[in-house]
Homo-oligomer: A and B are copies of this chain.
Amino acid sequence: MKAEIIAIGTELLLGQITNSNATYISSQSASAGIFVYHHTAVGDNKDRLEKVIQIAEDRSDLLIFTGGLGPTKDDLTKETIAKHLGTPLVLDKMALENIKDWFTKMNREMTPNNEKQALILEGSYVLKNDYGMAPGMVYEKAGKTYVLLPGPPNEMKPMVDNYLIPYLLSKRSDGSVLTSRVLKFYGIGEADLEHQLQDIIDEQSNPTVAPLAGDGEVTLRLTAFGENSSVNKKLLDEMESTIAKRVGAFIYGYDQETLWSSLLNKLRHKNLTLAVAESFTAGLFQSTFAAEAGASSVLKGGVVCYDKSVKTKLLKLDEETLESNGVYSEWCARELALSVRRLLNTSIGISFTGVAGPGAHANVDPGTIFMGIAWGEEEVETVKLSLVGSREAIRNRAVKWMADHLRKKVEQLK
């Protein structure tokens, strides 16, 4: 069953809003074993919408429309589909009641144009709108299934989860179930990963293996189809171990896990606390880490030592030695990590110093960065990296590199 999602709204084409409805409907469909092959977005225009419907009918079996079910003049999805299919629109009493209730709750007078929202394609299965007025519907004709959903995400999402997906699953012919697992990688490029897994990817069938790059990370989505989820789990486990044999060192987690949640859990599990001294990253490591709920159990805080004076006065680095080594040095990274650990009395102290760019500073190229990790007074690591990219990319890569490095180190601790 080939599905297509058709979003209607001129604001999408003006770039005023993003078509996140297509994302949501796609992921919910995929996990129900329904495959979406096309997304289309078109404006509030009858003629263009009708052409889009014709194209979709030629290539898809399930057409999922979202948007244009409202009361205003430019809401014309229902009318256009009805005209195209030669199916009359009829008033749905339940939907009308729902709309009237809605106005009562809001203590507002129901204007006539709102009745329009209670019209449905004659013979369609109504999808109740628990969070708004316009009902959704499923209509079948000539082997095609037409699904109409409202545009507002807070109305559309629960309608999909609670009514549409169960309805579609009940209609499925084969009993097969779909199970999906996402492997998260860090420290390996998409090309390199795929190069190492080429034969697996070429021969994939069940489970399917799909790489996806983004923001310095790569993920691999494994999707298995079988008669039940335990059969699927076995298929996924086998595939995962085959992959892990080759590139397991770069796998840091699964599904919704991030480098940061993984790091937080590992530090928490070992009862370790963290203090951070940030120069060119200026708090980016700490603020990204603190975006994880519960970070406060691990991160005590730190110092943003953007200016040299903060390094010497607050973090007490020796001025002369700092002069001779320079702020862009392993010595500086080492001292910052030690100092912030001491000051905040934590298990671990880490530090970032370097040039984010744009342009060189003190004859040091942008992307030249030094990091320190102090595990104790005597136990300090320093790392020098040469990163490329924009100022933003360099800062982001630095903190991600550290998150991954810490994660691995903490895992290895006795």
Query: Which stretch in A89-97, A165-173, A281-289, A370-378 binds the other chain?
Result: A281-289
Binary B-proximity of A297-324 (CB < 8 A = 1, otherwise 0): 0011111111101100110000000000
Binary B-proximity of A1-34 (CB < 8 A = 1, otherwise 0): 0000001001111111111101111111110000
A269 to chain B minimum Cβ distance, whole angstroms, is: 19
Q: Is the CB of A26 within 8 A of B14?
A: yes
Cβ-based interface call for A184 (8 A): no
A interface residues, tally (CB under 8 Å): 115
Q: Is the CB of B282 within 8 A of A393?
A: no
Contacts of A293 in B (CB 8 A): 357-358, 391
- Copies of this chain, whole number: 2
Q: Is the CB of B131 within 8 A of A390?
A: yes
Pick from B40, B73, B282: contact of A201, CB below 8 A: B73
With both beta carbons as reference points, the residue of chain B lying nearest to A190 in the complex is identified as B72
Q: Is the CB of B314 within 8 A of A306?
A: no
Pick from B23, B41, B343: contact of A39, CB below 8 A: B41
Cβ-based interface call for A181 (8 A): no
Pick from B11, B114, B212, B283: contact of A290, CB below 8 A: B283
Cβ-based interface call for A414 (8 A): no
Interface SS, A side? mixed
Contacts of A287 in B (CB 8 A): 278, 281-284, 286-287, 395
In angstroms, Cα B107 to Cα A410, docked, is 26
Contacts of A247 in B (CB 8 A): none
Pick from B40, B289, B299, B314: contact of A343, CB below 8 A: B314
In angstroms, Cα B22 to Cα A27, docked, is 19
Q: Is the CB of A388 within 8 A of B190?
A: no
Cβ-based interface call for A141 (8 A): no
A49 to chain B minimum Cβ distance, whole angstroms, is: 11
Contact A10-B51, Cβ < 8 Å, known A73-B201, A190-B72: no
Cβ-based interface call for A412 (8 A): no
A182 to chain B minimum Cβ distance, whole angstroms, is: 8
A12 to chain B minimum Cβ distance, whole angstroms, is: 7
Enumerate chain A interface residues (CB-CB to B < 8 A): 7, 10-20, 22-30, 35-43, 48, 51-52, 55, 59, 70-74, 102, 105-108, 111, 113-114, 130-131, 152, 154, 158, 189-192, 194-195, 198, 201-202, 210-215, 219, 221, 276, 278, 280-287, 289-291, 293, 295-296, 299-307, 309-310, 313-314, 343-345, 356-358, 367, 386-393, 395
